[in-house]
Structure 1
Amino acid sequence: MGDRLANRRALVTGAGQGMGRAIALAFAREGASGVATSRTLSKMEDLPRLSASIDITALDVTDPAAIRTVIGGAGTLDILVNCAGWVHNGSILDCDDEDWLKSMDYNATSAFRTMKAVLPQMIEHGRGSIVNVASVASSITGVPNRAAYGASKAAMIGLTKAAARDVIATGVRVNALCPGTTLSPSLQSRIDASPDPQEMQRTFIARQPIGRLGTVEEMAAAAVYLASDETAFMTGQILVVDGGQTL
């Protein structure tokens, strides 16, 4: 147990699995209390048993009213992590309007809504750290078959920078975490569903010159860093943790 986030209260979206779940647990280990959210409540049922400081609640991040209700009932928040998202697999030619709009809604508009809901209270208290989980895929470097996903994550980076500038004098910081290819349940399911899972995994690994996939625990450690006072002089920035993918 640490104390890097002691006496802080956090809300994490997308905490049902993968990075979001790892971030919620890492925050708790560093002394934070807070709310873990996911569209599927059952995926989080064990979190309060793993840490008494974690409350759970269902949240569809594409529902503006639900966002306002959950954030309004979460108490005074010092940290917001936008980790919920959706990956469309396909090039621009494979992406129809529905795929495009769903990507934007889950990966960018949802962050706009949660930030807009939480910022007034953070500004009032003169402190806060917002961590937007973006991606290096297409938003920083070109990756095949990620047109809508990359565009939506690029939008999240733009939103991060704009919001950081808007609130820079208030004590609230806004930064983006950009992971490289990270082994998560969602990635594993895409690998398993491919015609040749072993070849697909080798393809994903080949993206990282370091020679392996990232872990959700490594991304959670980066999120702790961004949320903590160790980055008190850092706002509007992109933290790339990608095993050399963008070198």
Structure 2
Amino acid sequence: MKSNKYFTKELLVEANNAAIREKRNQTIKEEIIETLDDDMLFPICHFFYHAKNEIRVMVVLDYQGTWGLLDMSMLRYESLPTSILNDDGSVTLEDEESYNSRRPYPNTREWQESFVLKPVRRQKSFRDDVLKAYNNQCAVCSINNTKVLRAAHIWPVSYGGTDEIQNGICLCVTHEVAYDSGLFSITPEGDVILNTRDDLKIEYLKIRYPDNLQERPSISNLLKRNEFFSNK
């Protein structure tokens, strides 16, 4: 059996309104949500941790596979309903009473959370070190403008990942989001594997490695990450 979190439209509107109200980084355009089917369920196909107690989810919005990114607290994520894919292919949905019991304020439709923007650990130093190791160029494309380059953690900090160079890969903003969303993966051998039919503008079938062998991505962290996403 495999479990998966999902939104009803009511819960999606609530979570998106909260993200807008709390000034979180990723929200879905309200006009898009307004057009969604009231009776449809919206599964979370991928998620990743990007700050302390923060999670970013990738939500499927229609039958064509259109998706949106939404930031929320771990508390809000854990309160969402869960679906179970049974061995016979059927799906069991959690009943409303069950998932409402996990809400911090069961008798209130919405709640306010504080959201503090602040550096986490050694983020600037980590970014500087990783960009330098990759000669200020995205590992999967030719972009070399430092204003749009990021140091993507292979194994998330919230799961115990470190800020060592070997736990980072230099990616442009577009490819960082795609990598963190599981739209492509990187094997321990450095092969770039697409997990979507979307054109991600990836130029290399293998990542560009740092010149220094000691600064190349950790094989064990790549294995852990790929196993993590394969179970989602």
Q: Which has the higher contact order (CA 8 A, sep 6+)?
A: 1
- Structure with greater strand percent: 2
Q: Please identify the structure whose Cα radius of gyration is greater.
A: 2
Assess same fold via TM > 0.5. no
- Structure with greater helix percent: 1
Normalising by the smaller structure, the TM-score range is: under 0.3
What TM-score do you get using the length of structure 2 for normalisation? 0.25
